[in-house]
Structure 1
């Protein structure tokens, strides 16, 4: 059967319309994003040095009792007027799996917004994977165990032990491994939403774990939207 006249022009017109809409949206958002990007520091409520300090004091107080270490950190953040309004006080009931870059562990969200996230991430059995190439600086505070990292061209591994911070600058990638039990306080600052593509990829292309995809979306969305509603970008 011969194609109907005008079908090609209608199709190309539809595509052209979507491209024009995309171009308009991009044109409007680009300068806004650029201006915000130049002033990201204004939106941060957490300080890496302070987080490192509270992590070390929590370890000094509770050693390898990781649950008590986490509660110590959470209590300090809840008592700090600057961070208290933006801290999730229900983290014990919101742990879920995270699959990203081939690695697997458990996590709970202390804070998530457009420019920052603070989570507890770790595993009791070990894991290994790709760090991801991200749009934010990532501070990985080791609360228990060890994390190893590797960069091509090096011939020795990087080793981060309890109390150390593994800083991954945005755009940097590494192979990393938690050889055995390891838990960390992970803090990222920068553009957080683009990092979620990496966080979701394995869920839909490898493990196909739809319940975990739902938990990830629900808990992250709850934090991000909740913080936006109280003015935290």
Structure 2
């Protein structure tokens, strides 16, 4: 999903060529309309260039590290054993004791349903900002769906149960298995089918462009569930945390 200057330039040239062709085919097109069209393309190109520059600077905005989170998850599993609640409480306590991340955490335990890609579970948001989110996601009865194709890297630190994934581009005849203590890394731009066949919970960490992932989280509400109460709760909590962290200087 990364941007490149060559892609931006090629897209701009194609759009300009298309507009020029339409202008030739339709002489009645006014110069004002032509100027408006080219101005819009120029603006979009400038915006894409700005995103490209920011994309190279993402690392400086992160406050979490996948390696550290994996280590924390392993310690929590060792501490809590088969008690998922104890595992999650250990993680939350450790994060709140970390002076580097504590100011940017959501200190309320607010569980909400999450419908995305045909899968359903529940989540509680530990952190949400423009470039990162950290949640506990899972279900006690199993689910299956589409991972989505995202603008961020997504790390599922499995805390209990097993998550399964399938990617025909990797091996069309086999599945991936991620038991407790392992990490399923869904790289930016990749897509898979996934399932949690029974009770399974994960510490999910995403880093990249988080606003670009929100459409995936909203789509099922408007195309299927019509559960506006849940989507409002999700929007309220996510928006509160993102804006709050921006005001604290966390991009």
Q: Determine if the TM-score, normalized by the shorter chain, exceeds 0.5.
A: yes
1:217 maps to 2:240: no
RMSD of aligned C-alpha atoms?
Answer: 1.9
Question: Out of 127, 141, 153, which is 2:157 matched to?
Answer: 141
- In the alignment, which of 61, 64, 81 is matched to residue 43 of structure 1? 61
CA distance in 2, matches of 1:105, 1:76: 25
Distance 1:159 1:15, change over 3 A: farther
Secondary structure, counterpart of 1:114 in structure 2? coil
Secondary structure at 1:125's aligned position in 2?
A: coil
| 1:23 CA displacement | 4.0
Whole-angstrom CA distance in 2 between matches of 1:106 and 1:15:
49
SS in 1 for 2:121: strand
Give, in whole Å, the separation in 1 of the partners of 2:82 and 2:40: 52
Superposed, 1:47-196 pairs within 5 Å as: 47-91=65-109, 94-152=110-168, 153-196=171-214
CA distance in 1, matches of 2:231, 2:34: 34
Quote the Cα distance in structure 2 between the aligned partners of 1:13 and 1:120: 55
How many residues were matched structurally? 220
CA 1:13–1:59 in structure 2 vs 1: closer, same or farther (change >3 Å)? farther
Give 1:199's aligned residue: 217
User: How far apart, CA to CA, are the structure 1 residues paired with 2:31 and 2:160?
Assistant: 58
2:32 & 2:126 partners in 1: Cα distance? 44
Whole-angstrom CA distance in 1 between matches of 2:32 and 2:235: 31
Change (3 A) 1:170 1:80: same
- In the TM superposition, what is the alpha-carbon distance from 1:65 to its structure 2 partner? 1.4
Deviation at residue 21 of structure 1 after TM alignment: 7.0
How far off its partner does 1:32 sit?
2.3
Partner of 1:194, secondary structure, is helix
Query: Alpha-carbon deviations, 1:93-128, whole Å to 9, x = none?
Result: x11000000000000110011111000000000000
User: Post-superposition, which runs of at least 4 consecutive aligned residues in structure 1 deviate over 3 A?
Assistant: 12-25
**Could you say which residue in structure 2 is the equivalent of 1:30?**
48
Of 194-203 and 20-29, the range deviating more from structure 2:
20-29
